[in-house]
Structure 1
Amino acid sequence: MTSGRADPSGTWESIPRMVLSAADRFGDAEAVVDGPLRLSFAELAERVRQAAGAFRELGVSKGDRVAIWAPNSAEWLVAGFGLLAAGGVLVPVNTRFKADEAHDIVVRGRAKALLVQQGFLDLEFTGPPGVPVIDLTSDFLASGSPYECEVSGSDLSDIIFTSGTTGRPKGVLMSHAQNLRLFAEWCDLADLREGDRYLIVNPFFHMFGWKAGCIASLIRGATILPVPVFDVDQVLDLVERERVTMLPGPPTLYHSLLEAEAKGGRDLSSLRAAVTGSADIPVELIRRIRSELPFRTIMTGYGLTEAGTVTASRSGDSFEEIATTVGLPCDGLEVRVADDGEVLVRGYSVMLGYLDDPAATAEAIDPHGWLHTGDLGTLDDRGRLRIVGRKKDMFVVGGFNAYPAEIEGFLLRHPAVAQAAVVGVPDTRLGQVGKAFVVPHGPVSADELIAWSRERMAGYKVPRSVEFREELPIGATGKVLKDQLR
């Protein structure tokens, strides 16, 4: 699908070239609005060049990695693009991670530095031994002489960590060319236009926020409005004040907008394009978004860190098609469903591999190039994909992927826990939350274990309930039979 204009993804060799060219393409138009800070595309390009110089003077050479552990902001944007312009590789870190979780990513990513925003949520962010910690709000980003490293499309762009069946986060390797091609198409599919004002609620540490947010906006010439912490009233204020046109987010975001519209007193008339995604969206919600809110286009899709956006709905799709399927494959990608129901993906956007893990890479990508997603799905007679479940035990808490094996690993560190199994259970607000089944070998209460977990895990990973058992159901191979627990 195209918008009638030439596909721009082949115009640039790398993401930095695309970003810096925005100064010529869009000039004095607003590129970023973050509180009182307003940057034009020309000013953003200059700040990116300065940041690239700062990274160079820090000792970052081509191919070196730098981690960013901070909320959405203009500084994050400048740092991320500045790092790429210096030839570096971006390693984003989830802001919800506790210190041990974040340090593991920084160390295994071999980051030469860690950028943070001290004081965010009243927290003081630390780094692992030997890794310098730099505050994004310091003068670091503006301290360098303008610089740009020569970067090719095949060079590594980012390492975004995700979790697998072992529960240990794995680093997904992606190149500049992969990102540019896929998210140039995403702009068309999502109806992102030059001059749009794009409120980015999705976190920059996630593929959706960084790639379908920041990179897409610079490709198309949209104004970026970063939101560090989701707050409904703040979002509504920004929509009114800044005349936001593009507002992607989870289904819960649109529920909030519908409630605000019903109450009245808010001007949401500028909103034009919505993008959401979930395995199960009520058809009625899509109908209400179109009939009760100003949105003229709604896109749903399916993606994963290992391949980016894989499928998307198309203009003209019915409410039911948008709500109950995740659309058709993107250009250059193939999707099929294996005999066991697993969704397989093949094409240019499939990851280069997992960082330092050839065994996991070989397990994920078969000899024929098919990526085994771990999701279960079906294809209708028109080729639309429907996601029906997860082959693995992952569950989604308010839009965040939670992996039982990782949570179980944390629980087993508690001195009173002998065995632990975690499953996702339905929750009216968050969709799903974790429930832990624990075999204790010492005195501990459910409240104590939950409180202990909150000190060591990101909030979405923490089990909301604990059930104590004398034993867990075990199958012939020694694995816990989680279907019995569910």
Structure 2
Amino acid sequence: MIEAPAFGMASVWATHARFAPDKIAAICGTRQLTWAEFDRGTARVANALIRLGIEHDEPVALVMTNSLEMLEVMFGIVRAGACMVPISGLLTGAQIATMMADSGAKTVFVSSSNRALIEGANLPAGIRRIAIGFEAEGWEAGEALLAAAPDTDPAVRIQPDDRFNIIYSSGTTGLPKGIVQSHGARTHFAWSNALELGMTRESVTLVTTALYSNGTMFMVLPPLLLGATIVIMEQFSPSGALALIEQHRVTHAFMVPTQCIVTLDDAALGRHDLSSLKALLSAGSSLRPDTREAVIERMTPNVYELYGFSEGFATMRKPGDNPARPTAVGRPVLGFDMRIIGQDDREVPRGEPGEIVGRGLGMMAGYHNRPDLDAAILWRDEAGTEYLRSGDIGMIDEEGFLHIVDRKKDMILSGGFNIFPADLEAVIGQHPEVQDVTVIGIPHAKWGETPLALVIPRGTPEAAALLEWANARLAKTQRLAGLEFRAEFPRNALGKVLKRELRATFWEKAE
């Protein structure tokens, strides 16, 4: 019997380097890597880890900032057959220590800007700390470690069920919830999104969000699979993103709704040629209809909108879809299926709201060391087929498009009425002096809870006048109890507003 070839994207990367060695794989700032250099760089990381005794499937963490070095470390870990554990540098030292302990990682790569954070994290003495971009006592010099490692193929055999990574939510508090994704699932993610977004080996993608974030992988894994080019922003700015699109003739970019909003407000918009854009993907949270139309009119007509969750399900709305209802977020991405279920856990008819459940080839292997959560997230249909619960309320319309009603846990129950914040946000967001808005439920002595609007304003509107304007356009059961201005909202790595943090202040006071 013929032996099965080595599985995984690492073998594909080596092929790109062999047959297109001088093609540009990645750009960051004034530096760039050819595919030959990317191949050698990831090989050095992999061989260094193997020399250190890192075993197959062993978790290896990194707390790094966007750079070519981070890209090489991430996929060098994968190439070694280890399990990548990317951790946000925006967390506290205590949160990082908790995630490290939960994942079982005994090795961590750290950028110079995160050195103090890790030194203050009180990691156990046995943790190997590898410094990238600096040298210090108590740290292993990363540059020397990698320079001493061979740049030849480590020839690690990888199977589809092997762990590719453990992804933690950037806002995790208490017990961590690590999402385990296999090589098979990550490969499906790469080819399915490449097909859906129309990428080729000639594509140039723009990374505007943190490399440790799962959503960023839309602009990383597909081009790595195809042998295309990735442009990495060290830190996002609207003017910087617009300039890079023009400079590098970017074909595919990813921006969360917040980034779209601030880019629309930036003076640089209109000064740069964005005609190369074949796809501007938005995900992380739903685009308000007014924002979507403004992006189409002022940036590019090639707007793609994705709804999904890291556990493994997604829908996509494409430019040619033209749904009858403008709030549609698309149909399932290739390889996925979805259902809508009611409170009795039975599937509801088309047009009725309920919890979104999904399944497909990109599903997670499970939560790391949390079998209790694995059981809680599963829903089975009458045939016993397993789907994952999203925790989101949605509806499938007569055309087969999904519509997001709201997050199940964000729904406001006021006086017996269900109030969905997204409905209120869509109305308030239409006001010209509203840049961004989020609606939360706060305690109310009579109704249990009531909606409060928090607004990031344009200019200097009057809160009372804006509240009156909004309530005049809302149903009686939806009317706001108040409206407050904010300079910013707490957000996760993909710009999603952390409503639980906003609610906490009000509910703690009530208690």
Q: Which moved more, 1:283-292 or 1:90-99?
A: 283-292
Structure 2 length-normalised TM: 0.72
1:136 aligns with 2:132: yes
1:180 aligns with 2:197: no
1:329 aligns with 2:332: yes
| TM superposition shift of 1:30 | 0.7
Change (3 A) 1:93 1:266: same
Which of 309, 312, 318 is 2:316 aligned to?
A: 312
| TM superposition shift of 1:241 | 2.8
Q: Is the 8 A contact 1:60 1:112 kept in 2?
A: no
Tell me the residue number matched to 2:472. none
Which of 84, 87, 95 is 1:101 aligned to?
A: 95
Which of 153, 156, 160 is 2:160 aligned to?
A: 153
Q: Is the 8 A contact 2:91 2:170 kept in 1?
A: no
After TM superposition, the structure 1 = structure 2 runs for residues 248-397 of structure 1, keeping only pairs within 5 Å, are 248-260=254-266, 264-277=270-283, 280-293=286-299, 295-307=300-312, 309-318=313-322, 324-340=327-343, 341-366=354-379, 368=384, 369-393=386-410
Deviations 1:417-476 (A, max 9, x none): xxxxx999644349xxxxxxxxxxxxxxxxxxxxxx9xxxx997665994487753xxxx
Q: Is the 8 A contact 1:51 1:82 kept in 2?
A: yes
Change (3 A) 1:171 1:280: closer
Q: Is the 8 A contact 2:215 2:284 kept in 1?
A: no
Deviations 1:225-281 (A, max 9, x none): 112322223223323333322221112323343344776433434333200036542
| TM superposition shift of 1:77 | 1.0
Change (3 A) 1:460 1:125: farther
1:203 aligns with 2:210: yes
Larger Rg: 2
CA RMSD of aligned residues (A): 3.6
Q: Distance in 1 between matches of 2:5 and 2:290?
A: 41
Q: Distance in 1 between matches of 2:104 and 2:88?
A: 17
Tell me the residue number matched to 1:415. none
Structure 1 length-normalised TM: 0.76
Deviations 1:99-138 (A, max 9, x none): 0011111111000211111225x95433511212112334
Q: Distance in 2 between matches of 1:355 and 1:195?
A: 37
Aligned length: 414
| TM superposition shift of 1:345 | 1.0
Equivalent position SS for 1:373 = strand
Change (3 A) 1:423 1:168: farther
Q: Is the 8 A contact 2:168 2:176 kept in 1?
A: yes
Q: Distance in 2 between matches of 1:183 and 1:353?
A: 19
Which of 207, 212, 225 is 2:231 aligned to?
A: 225
1:162 aligns with 2:169: yes
| TM superposition shift of 1:164 | 10
Deviations 1:158-217 (A, max 9, x none): 1112389995321111110111113211012122232222110122211111x3122111
Q: Is the 8 A contact 2:24 2:33 kept in 1?
A: yes
Q: Is the 8 A contact 1:260 1:266 kept in 2?
A: no
Tell me the residue number matched to 2:32. 38
Tell me the residue number matched to 1:191. 198
Change (3 A) 1:25 1:345: farther
Change (3 A) 1:331 1:89: same
Tell me the residue number matched to 1:428. 455
1:125 aligns with 2:118: yes
Q: Is the 8 A contact 2:323 2:399 kept in 1?
A: no
Amino acid in structure 1 at the alignment position of 2:161: S
Q: Which moved more, 1:295-304 or 1:238-247?
A: 238-247
